[in-house]
C-alpha cells in the first residue's frame, strides 16, 4: 500500500504545536517572536504568498511586520530598511519575498540580512553552515521535506537519494540535508544524461524541477519514496506537481501529493525558524 504523505495535516499539527509553545513561553519571557516580511512590487503570486505567511504568523502568535515597497524602490533604500530591521529587537526573522525587480541584486539583499534573523536560510553564512553539517537556519522547503520524512518514519540513512533540480533554494539544500542524514545523494539537472535510468536507482526521489507531470513511472523504482516539490499549473489551470501523481502513486512506496504535500510544510517551517531565532535571541532553552 502506497503511503500518501499528508503535508497539509502535518503542517497544521506543527503550527498548532508552535502556537502552544509561543503561548506558554511568551507569557513567561514577556516577549513575542516577530517576523518582518518585505515585498518589493506587487507581483500577484508574491502577494498571495506574503498574505499567507502573515496570516500564518498571526494565527501562531508571531507578530508580523509588513513592508510593501514600490517596485521602483532603490537598492540602497531596501538595504537601509534591512539594516533597521537587523537592529530592531522586536524582529527575530526577516524575509524578503523573491523575486525582486531586476534593478535590485538578489545576492546583495540576501547577504545584508543578519544571519541570525535569516529565517529563509538563504544567507551565505547559513548555506555554508548547512554544507558543513552545522546547526543553522535551514531553507524552509528542504526543511519541510525532511520533517515530513521523519514524521512518516521513512528511512534515509544508507538510502540512495536522487534530487532532480540544483537551485539554491530547493535542490542544493535538500541534497545537503539528505547527505547530513546519511543518504547517498546524486543531484541531477537539465544536462544529466539518462535521467530516467538514474532516477530508477533511487530509494528516495525528490523532484524540484518546475515542469508539470515530468516524473512518470519510468523514473521510479517500485517502493521508492517520491517527494514532489514542484508547483505548476497544467493546461486546465490546475495546480499540479512535477510528478505524474496518478500513475506514480501506483508504484511508489510513499508519495507527496500536490497540492497538500510539501507546499504547506514550507510555511510551517518558516514559523518554526522564526521561533528558533526568537528563542536564540532571548536565550530561551527550555
Give least dist CB 98 to ligand NAP, A.
9
The answer to whether residue 120 is catalytic is: yes
Residues forming a β-bridge with 225: 204, 254
Give the residue among 154, 148, 151, 173 at the shortest CA–CA distance from 163: 173
Question: Considering only residues 190, 196, 223, 238, which one is a binding residue for ligand NAP as defined by CB under 6 A?
Answer: 190
Give, as ranges, the residues between 149 and 188 that touch ligand NAP (CB under 6 A).
Answer: 164-167, 169-171, 188
The answer to whether residue 53 is catalytic is: yes
Give, as ranges, the residues between 247 and 276 that touch ligand NAP (CB under 6 A).
Answer: 262-263, 266
Give, as ranges, the residues between 116 and 155 that touch ligand NAP (CB under 6 A).
Answer: 141
Nearer to ligand NAP, 33 or 165 (CB): 165
How many residues are there in the chain? 286
**SS3 readout for 46-113:** HHHHHHHHHHHHHHHCCEEEEEEECCCCCHHHHHHHHHHHHCCCCCCEEEECCCCCCCCCHHHHHHHC
200 binds ligand NAP (CB under 6 A): no
Question: Considering only residues 5, 209, 224, 269, which one is a binding residue for ligand NAP as defined by CB under 6 A?
Answer: 209
Give the residue among 71, 182, 247 at the shortest CA–CA distance from 255: 247
Nearer to ligand NAP, 32 or 166 (CB): 166
CA distance 220 to 201: 8
Give least dist CB 73 to ligand NAP, A.
24
- The answer to whether the CB of 61 falls within 8 A of the CB of 32 is yes
Q: Which residues are catalytic?
A: 53, 97, 120
Q: Which residues bind ligand NAP (CB under 6 A)?
A: 141, 164-167, 169-171, 188-192, 195, 208-211, 229-232, 262-263, 266
Amino acid at each position: 500500500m502506497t503511503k500518501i504523505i499528508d503535508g497539509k495535516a502535518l503542517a497544521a499539527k506543527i503550527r498548532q504545536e508552535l502556537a502552544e509553545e509561543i503561548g506558554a513561553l511568551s507569557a513567561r519571557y514577556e516577549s513575542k517572536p516577530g517576523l518582518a516580511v518585505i515585498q518589493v512590487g506587487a507581483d500577484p503570486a508574491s502577494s498571495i504568498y506574503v498574505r499567507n505567511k502573515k496570516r500564518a504568523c498571526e494565527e501562531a502568535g508571531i507578530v508580523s511586520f509588513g513592508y510593501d515597497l514600490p517596485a521602483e524602490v532603490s537598492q540602497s533604500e531596501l538595504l537601509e530598511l534591512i539594516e533597521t530591521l537587523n537592529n530592531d529587537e522586536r524582529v527575530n526573522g526577516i524575509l524578503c519575498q523573491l523575486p525582486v525587480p531586476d534593478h535590485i541584486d538578489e545576492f546583495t539583499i540576501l547577504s545584508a540580512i543578519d544571519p541570525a534573523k535569516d529565517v529563509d536560510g538563504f544567507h551565505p553564512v547559513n548555506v555554508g553552515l548547512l554544507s558543513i553539517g552545522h546547526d543553522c537556519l535551514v531553507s524552509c522547503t528542504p526543511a519541510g521535506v525532511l520533517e515530513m520524512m521523519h514524521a512518516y518514519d521513512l528511512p534515509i540513512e544508507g538510502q540512495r537519494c536522487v534530487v532532480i533540480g540544483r537551485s539554491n533554494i530547493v535542490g542544493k539544500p535538500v541534497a545537503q540535508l539528505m547527505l547530513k542524514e546519511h543518504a547517498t545523494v546524486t543531484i541531477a539537472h537539465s544536462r544529466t544524461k539518462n535521467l530516467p535510468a538514474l532516477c530508477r536507482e533511487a530509494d528516495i526521489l525528490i523532484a524540484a524541477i518546475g515542469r508539470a507531470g515530468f516524473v512518470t513511472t519510468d523514473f521510479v523504482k517500485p517502493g521508492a519514496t517520491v517527494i514532489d516539490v514542484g508547483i505548476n499549473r497544467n493546461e486546465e489551470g490546475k495546480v499540479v506537481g512535477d510528478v505524474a501523481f496518478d500513475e506514480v502513486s501506483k508504484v511508489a512506496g510513499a508519495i507527496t501529493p500536490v497540492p497538500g504535500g510539501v507546499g504547506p510544510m514550507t510555511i510551517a517551517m518558516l514559523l518554526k525558524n522564526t521561533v528558533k531565532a526568537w528563542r536564540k535571541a532571548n536565550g530561551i532553552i527550555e
